C-alpha cells in the first residue's frame, strides 16, 4: 500500500515537473512572439517612413506658368521667328504671385534661367520648415537665337525664392544664401553648414508651340522641370 502511494506521489511529482517545464516553454514562446511582434511593428514603421521619405523627395511644387500668346516671323526680319510668352510665377498653392509678364524671345526654344538651392535629403525627408524643399529664383528668359546675357529679366516677386513667393519673413540666414550665392556655391564646406547639398544656375527649355501652355515645377529634392499642359 505504501509503495503504491509512493508511486503515485512520484508520478504526481513528475507530472508537476512536466507541467512546470511546459509553462516555462510557453512563457519563453510568449516572449519570443512578443519580441517578433515588436520587431514586425518596427519594421512596418520603418517601411512606412521610408516610403513617406521616398514620396517626399518626389514632391513637386508648381512654380510658374508659361503661355505662348503668339509665334511667327519677325516683321522686321521674316527669316527670324519670334515667340511671345506670358509668364507668371505661382505661389506655394499654385496661385499667381505678382503681375504676369509678356516676354518676346527670338526663336522657338524658350529658356528659363534661374538660381537653385538644393538641400540635403535629410531635411527634405524630415519636412524641415525652411530646408524641406529646394528653392529657386527666376532670373531671365531668352530664346535660342538670343544671347543668354541679352535675355529679358524676370522680376522675382519680392526677391523671395519659390515656394516662398508670399508669406512671412524668411529667416536671415536664408537671405544670406541668396546675397552670397556664388560664394557659397564655391565653398562646399560653408554650404554644408547651412544644410545645402548643391546650389547652381539652371536653364531648362522647351520647344514652344503656338497656343502652348507649360507648367514649371520645382521638385522638393531636385531642380526645375517644364511640361506641357
Q: What is the pLDDT of residues 147-186, one digit of tens each?
A: 767 889 886 554 555 545 445 545 565 678 888 889 999 9
Q: What is the pLDDT of residues 5-53, one digit of tens each?
A: 555 666 666 676 777 777 777 777 777 777 777 776 666 554 444 443 4
Kindly list the domain boundaries of the chain, sorted by start residue. Answer: 1-57, 61-228
Q: What is the mean pLDDT of residues 214-218?
A: 90
Q: What is the mean pLDDT of residues 128-152?
A: 80
215 burial type by CB count under 10 A (0-12 exposed, 13-18 middle, 19+ buried)? middle
Q: What is the residue-averaged pLDDT of the chain? A: 77
Q: What is the pLDDT of residues 60-110, one digit of tens each?
A: 576 889 999 999 999 988 889 999 999 998 876 777 877 899 999 999 999
Strands 213-219 and 60-74: antiparallel
Q: How far apart are CA 154 and CA 203, in angstroms?
A: 13
Q: Report the pLDDT value the prediction gives residue 143, as an integer from 0 to 100.
A: 94
Strand order, beta sheet including 60-74: 101-106, 77-89, 60-74, 213-219, 224-228
Amino acid at each position: 500500500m505504501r509503495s503504491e502511494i509512493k508511486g503515485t506521489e512520484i508520478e504526481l511529482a513528475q507530472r508537476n515537473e512536466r507541467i512546470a517545464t511546459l509553462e516555462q516553454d510557453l512563457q519563453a514562446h510568449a516572449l519570443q512572439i512578443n519580441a517578433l511582434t515588436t520587431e514586425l511593428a518596427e519594421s512596418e514603421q520603418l517601411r512606412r517612413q521610408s516610403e513617406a521619405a521616398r514620396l517626399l523627395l518626389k514632391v513637386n511644387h508648381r512654380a510658374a506658368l508659361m503661355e505662348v500668346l503668339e509665334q511667327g516671323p519677325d516683321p522686321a526680319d521674316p527669316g527670324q521667328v519670334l515667340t511671345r510668352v506670358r509668364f507668371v510665377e505661382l505661389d506655394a498653392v499654385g496661385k499667381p504671385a505678382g503681375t504676369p509678364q509678356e516676354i518676346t524671345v527670338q526663336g522657338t526654344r524658350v529658356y528659363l534661367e534661374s538660381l537653385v538651392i538644393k538641400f540635403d535629403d535629410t531635411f527634405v525627408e524630415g519636412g524641415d520648415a525652411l530646408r524641406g524643399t529646394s528653392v529657386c529664383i527666376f532670373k531671365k528668359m531668352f530664346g535660342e537665337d538670343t544671347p543668354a546675357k541679352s535675355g529679358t529679366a524676370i522680376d522675382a516677386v519680392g526677391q523671395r525664392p519659390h515656394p516662398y513667393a508670399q508669406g512671412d519673413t524668411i529667416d536671415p540666414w536664408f537671405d544670406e544664401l541668396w546675397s552670397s550665392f556664388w560664394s557659397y556655391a564655391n565653398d562646399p564646406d560653408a554650404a554644408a553648414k547651412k544644410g545645402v547639398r548643391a546650389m547652381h544656375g539652371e536653364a531648362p527649355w522647351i520647344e514652344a508651340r503656338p497656343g502652348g501652355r507649360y507648367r514649371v515645377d520645382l521638385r522638393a529634392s531636385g531642380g526645375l522641370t517644364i511640361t506641357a499642359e
